[in-house]
Structure 1
């Protein structure tokens, strides 16, 4: 507490010094001058065409590049603070795997074959898998969060919403930007970005690269493999992007991009919340310390290229083509039990390839605007994992259940959405998308009485016996299924005044049907999930300095896909069946407010309220009678309340301009497991402060950022393989140990950034 007080005093002293300097040089400014304040005009592409935020009848939050920089936001997950009813968090095993929920809809299992509930897009290119989806901020123009189903314009797997990462177009001038960040836990981030005109006013080359590293927040204090890196929650990442932009004529634009990210951060070790029954290792002192019997290395590789063509036929009609290909490779180590023994270890490999092609025909006239297109997606999602249960089967020399296979898909879609002005004030929006998807799946599932790993050399001296594994691991599923669906949208917008729009809408989204990637035998595919959403909202601005946007919503989430654990002969069976278990609903309200009382001061706030629950979960009793067990199910990663309040204060001095900012972000309590939840995170708040400086010549900039000032500890993920015994204790689960594991968000950090723009 004393340490935090000292740090807070230092930040307060820095801010007060700048304020004093500002008053000294600005005392001759008139009061009238200081009250001339207006809000920044915000543009978004939520409806696949650039529009003013205030004219879009969609619940959308947009965070610009300037806001990202001035708040010291370096990774996409921090955007959740600015979007109500939104969860964007790094998953359990790596820094780069994303857990995304919006309005209680998402997907927490990153295994191949499972589809996300929130779509992630880079420049309108869909990212099919969560591995590598925790994007670091690099050469970005803005990030948009679209809340609610986006099934008409964006298609499958956007039943909760979509997150759009929009990179910036080149200005045409030669530029070079250098920046370095140094901070807590030996943070050392280096970024370089630039652009150069190869042919003036025609052809430009742009690039951006980043090397991001820091030590771990904790350590693997006991490791069964000596000599390896024992840092836990560390970061070691490289990202790069290259772009060619060509404008041969005034009405034709072409962009070719390539990007690659390689994350070599260690695998994350979880915090044991219960003492181990099989080892003498106590519960660690720090939430970021762990034990492991596995290699600590981990890798997430993600790369892709894209080609965008835009051609203006005339003032009203535009043609657009988006072609993209991406692939990822992720060998990973997950120690479920987090002990020095092989109680429940899961080494795994995720491997994905995707290709997409979208053709758009867009129209913008006096009374009608239209976005329409054709879309094709082909994706191969494969993997292997080995569930090693050595301690429970030592008498046999160990036991491993290996599961491997692929879920491959081909999707076609056609869509159109238009808004027509019925009167000068009233407009009607109609949209419809037809989607057709075929999936084929193979699953190999079997047991070998030894400890095996996905590849030879997984740890020093290990040799994989492929012939033995091929003989012992049979193919248990080889099937194909096709689904098709129309997803509509209908809305009314009423422009009451130039600065006040009221809107209401109905929209539908669907998450693709799929096969169980852990199937232990033949089983049918599950049907798609469907979400029906109803919204009523307001977009308003008052006196040019107050913006108030509000949305109320109700959604009905049907045919939810979930895995049920089936009883087997013993714990090694790992029998799981994927099915459509039931229905959930959510009702909520979202408010976003921005107020600029003076030209120097900007205040903002957001509030998300949601009441979400399972309404029906179908099961059967011992006599085969149908029963409803919805009282044992909960909506995860969805606090009833999310709120954010903050400020930004800018000032001019004779040594440059300063921007001081801060925000307080609050999340009420939330559960971490869908069935028989054992871990809940109590409500908590994060306080963040920042101070930015820009030189008078426009070349230099610097920033000081203090995140999680009060050093809050909060859960973002878990593994639970125990059962309550009814007396306050637990019955050991898979592997025979008390495996109840928590993963935590970032602790308090301080960083300093210095940059130069040529």
Structure 2
């Protein structure tokens, strides 16, 4: 693989047509014309739970309007990674719809039930607790906001890195709708649509649907099925009531069903004791476990707003969500043999959550803000078998089989219940005409109850809990060895303040300084092996982040140039890190543990800019830099039974030092309509996939070049588009598994982002 410098050079040469975009960014809204001329426009966001101009909020925010995302050809929220500094949004390893999210070096890669993300995902202000099914397709939205830095005051738990807000459109009082068809490479064909239907004065019905289909980027040459394919159907229904000008009520429901095949990944090294080759296709596999997979997420919400007066609005958000994942599991070894299979036996994970939030929004001439209460009751559970099919029991006691391998199955199962309560407030006071002071705080109490059962089953393929269960050894050799069996509960409390000071240094130029604290509660490791790490029964502690930020937001040159920049420093304590290592005492196996590894510091810079170069041309640019270092990293040594500091041997995962992107938006008249061309380039420097550097799967720096072309008819009813992504067909890893020992058949697996794709679309709006 080339170094990140050569990748950057090649991509810059390929994207030389973008030279003019050194002064713009993809978060800007399309340029608008006002009485003073052409400007970069503005976006209204709700980062502080109330409507404000993006430029007035003392938070680093990247906001994407629906129209901008359409012009970019963004298929789902992972596309935001290419246009947002210091952001990682990727499909998790082994899945098609589980989300891995990191902002400014903080997140959570492990999607196991009971673990919680460090970046909060919100759909219409409803917190989505699970990463499964969180790779949201983009349809029927108003905008998406990416809030960088801890949002512990207004959003609370699990937003220590930041938050992603997915905001759908309100129905309004006029009949409207659209329908869109798409086709593309890999036999892709999609159909989406939405409609808003006013029934009577004050009552409107709405609906949206999406149907996505695509053949796989690769193939499982053992089963004959596609890999990295897509088969998703989703829908939303809503009812909006406005019985008076002061009252708004919305009932909304959604459901997404993903039947895409399991993504087993690509085997990166040859299995030493067989003739199984390393396949040349980066999306191909020989996995023998099976490819069935199904992910369902659904929910319903009730939102009510009452404008008591011009100064006070009361708001309630009630929501229930649930989901489940079922299928065959993930083949870690990538071969037909069960050397290292994570078998699900048809069931893997299920969860549900109920949440209630009350808000009081205050708006006066000098004081603005929100105070509120929040409650969450959530449950998550799951089970899987780790099948180790080689050399783990004496050959002499084997029952003869055609493929006479030995076997051991390790069952992991459990559940976690979470009850969370919080009181919060954030108030902004106009100290003077040019100075604003914002003060906020949140108190959170999380109670978690964890139940974990883990056992070894010798001489079996599968455990009795999951199917298939195939005893290789006769009774009594296949009796279980209990590793973990406990139920425990813990309570975590934290006070998370935030304060910021904003100074309007000049007209349309704001300087701000801010401090904020983020909190992610501790919990219980569902994979914990109490025989190897007895402390697992006590759970792990919370994470705390203290963040400091200096920023500037400015609209210059009569609004034709926008520059937003920030410097940040974070003190990160108690980081929760999952480690999986071979067991050193018989019987062999995999030991997993979650440690609060110690402390680290993160500092960096971000720059976003947008410029209108002419009435028909705008340019966009963003740049991110992170310097992240562990100051203490304590791990449990299975041999010495002591904690050892290995900070000098660890790196931050999913946190490239440099991220950057640039784009050019040219528009002109064609056939009476409006033609828009949007070439873009994005770059990410070298990235570690885990805290331990692993050259076999860590990703060198790379750049991606995209091109979108859209044409909008004169009456704006029709929009035609062509969208090419990763035009130079760059292969880049987004995840991996690393078990490089003969015991696990040298199971080193890589998972790759999408190859070059081209998609054509036709949309009719009415």
TM-score, normalised by the number of residues in structure 1: 0.90
Report SS of the residue matched to 2:135.
Answer: coil
8 Å contact from structure 2 (residues 457, 463) kept in 1: no
Q: Deviations over 1:675-694 (max 9, x none)?
A: 25343211111100011011
After TM superposition, the structure 1 stretch with the greater mean CA deviation from structure 2, 394-403 or 707-716, is 394-403
Quick check: 2:241–2:248 contact (8 Å CA) kept in 1?
Answer: yes
- 2: CA distance between counterparts of 1:366 and 1:456? 62
SS of the residue 1:116 aligns to: coil
CA apart distance, 1:544:
1.2
* Separation (CA, whole Å) in 2 of partners of 1:204 and 1:454: 52
1:452 corresponds to 2:462: yes
Q: CA deviation at 1:363?
A: 0.2
Check whether the contact 1:257–1:305 (CA below 8 A) recurs between aligned residues: yes
Say which SS state the counterpart of residue 391 (structure 1) adopts: coil
The residue number in structure 2 matching 1:747 is 755
- Equivalent of 2:702 in 684, 690, 700: 684
1:345 aligns with 2:341: yes
Are 2:339 and 1:334 aligned? Answer: no
- Residue of structure 2 in register with 1:491 after alignment: 500
> Is 1:35–1:597's contact at 8 Å kept on the other side of the alignment?
no
Give the SS at the match of 1:37.
strand
Relative contact order, higher structure (CA 8 A, sep 6+) = 2
CA contact (8 A) 1:602 1:649 kept: yes
Partner of 2:680: 663
Structure 1: how far apart are the matches of 2:643 and 2:410? Answer: 32
CA distance in structure 2 between the aligned counterparts of 1:625 and 1:444, rounded to whole angstroms: 25
Contact kept in structure 2, 1:671 and 1:681, CA below 8 Å? yes
Q: Does 1:529 align with 2:543?
A: yes
Pairing partner for 1:251 from 246, 255, 262: 246
Q: Measure the CA separation in 2 of the matches of 1:672 and 1:448.
A: 31
Using a 3 Å threshold, how does the CA distance of structure 1 residues 299 and 572 change in structure 2: closer, same or farther?
farther
Post-superposition Cα deviations, 1:378-428, rounded to whole Å, max 9, x if no partner, equal 110111010011233474552210010001100000001111111111111
Look up the SS of the partner of 1:435 in the other structure.
strand
Per-residue CA shift, 1:685-744, capped at 9, x if unaligned? 11000110111232221101111111111010000011xxxxxxxxx1553x11111100
- 1:133–1:752 Cα change, 3 Å: same
Pick which of 286-295 and 388-397 moved more.
388-397
Distance 1:701 1:462 in 2: 60
Instruction: Specify which of 534, 548, 552 is matched with residue 538 of structure 1.
Output: 552
- Map of 1:650 onto structure 2: 667
**Secondary structure of the structure 1 residue equivalent to 2:68:** helix
Aligned counterpart, 1:123:
124
User: What is the deviation of 1:568?
Assistant: 4.1
Among 586, 589, 592, the alignment partner of 1:576 is: 592
Residue equivalent to 2:729: 711
- Distance in 2 of aligned mates of 1:625 and 1:481: 24
Q: Distance in 2 between matches of 1:112 and 1:620?
A: 23
Tell me how far 1:83 sits from its aligned partner.
1.1
* Counterpart selection for 1:720 from 738, 743, 758: 738
Residue 701 of structure 1, aligned match among 716, 719, 727: 719
Q: Deviations over 1:431-452 (max 9, x none)?
A: 1100001000000100112111
Select the residue among 632, 641, 645 that pairs with 1:628.
645
Question: After the TM superposition, which residues 15-164 of structure 1 pair with which residues of structure 2 at under 5 Å, given as runs?
Answer: 36-164=37-165
1:7-44 C-alpha deviation (Å, 9 max, x unpaired): x9xx99xx9xxxxxxxxxxxxxxxx9999411111111
What residue is the counterpart of 2:746 in the other structure?
738
Q: How far is the alpha carbon of 1:756 from its aligned partner?
A: 1.3
Aligned pairs (5 A) from 1:218-617: 218-223=218-223, 230-332=225-327, 333-348=329-344, 349-393=348-392, 395=395, 396=398, 398-449=407-458, 450-452=460-462, 476-521=485-530, 523-542=537-556, 543-565=558-580, 567-570=583-586, 572-617=588-633
Structure 1 residue 175: Cα displacement: 2.1
CA distance in 1, matches of 2:109, 2:252: 30
Structure-1 separation of matches of 2:35 and 2:270: 60
- The 3 A distance-change label for structure 1 pair 712 and 573 is closer
**Alpha-carbon distance in 1 for matches of 2:248, 2:479:** 52
Aligned CA distance change for structure 1 residues 260 and 626 (closer, same or farther; 3 Å) = closer
Report the Cα distance in structure 1 between the residues aligned to 2:656 and 2:62, rounded to whole angstroms.
18
Residues 309-360 of structure 1: per-residue CA shift (max 9 Å, x gap):
0110100101000010000100242101111100000023011111100000
In 2, Cα distance between the equivalents of 1:428 and 1:295? Answer: 58
Q: Contact 1:344/1:734 (CA < 8 Å) preserved in 2?
A: no
CA offsets, 1:188-225, max 9 Å, x none?
A: 0011211111113x1111111111010000101223xx
* Contact 2:461–2:468 (8 Å) recurs in 1: no
Give the 3-state SS of the residue equivalent to 2:220 in structure 1. Answer: strand
3-state secondary structure, aligned to 1:516: coil
CA distance in 2, matches of 1:589, 1:408: 38
Q: Residues 482, 456 of structure 1: CA spacing in aligned structure 2 closer, same or farther, 3 A cutoff?
A: closer
User: Secondary structure of the equivalent of 2:222?
Assistant: strand
SS at match of 2:79: helix
Match of 1:672 in 2: 689
CA 362–627 in structure 1, closer or farther in 2 if over 3 Å, else same:
same
CA–CA distance in 1 between the matches of 2:292 and 2:104?
35
The structural deviation recorded for 1:474 is 7.3
1: CA distance, partners of 2:250 / 2:104: 34
**d(CA) in 2 for partners of 1:721, 1:118:** 28
Distance (whole Å) between structure 1 residues aligned to residue 265 and residue 149 of structure 2: 32
DSSP 3-state at the match of 2:336: coil
**Alignment size in residue pairs:** 712
Q: Is the Cα contact below 8 Å between 1:568 and 1:575 reproduced in 2?
A: no
- Please provide the CA RMSD for this pair: 2.6
In structure 2, the partner of 1:638 is 655
Residue 579 of structure 1 and its aligned partner are, at CA, apart by 2.2
Deviation at 1:576, TM superposition (A): 3.0
Unaligned runs of 5+ in 1: 1-7, 16-31, 224-228, 723-731
Q: Which residue of 2 aligns with 1:192?
A: 193
Q: Is the 8 A contact 1:442 1:475 kept in 2?
A: no
- Residue 139 of structure 1 and its aligned partner are, at CA, apart by 0.7
Q: Please tell me whether the aligned partners of residues 279 and 341 of structure 1 are also in contact (alpha carbons under 8 angstroms).
A: no
Cα distance in structure 2, aligned partners of 1:376 and 1:245: 24
For residue 67 of structure 1, give the secondary structure of its aligned residue in structure 2.
helix
Deviation, 1:660, is 1.1
Structure 1 residues 210 and 668: alpha-carbon distance in aligned structure 2, compared to 1, 3 A threshold: same
Inter-partner Cα distance in structure 2 for 1:544 and 1:442:
57
- Contact 2:232–2:257 under 8 Å retained in 1: yes
TM-score, structure 2 as length reference: 0.89
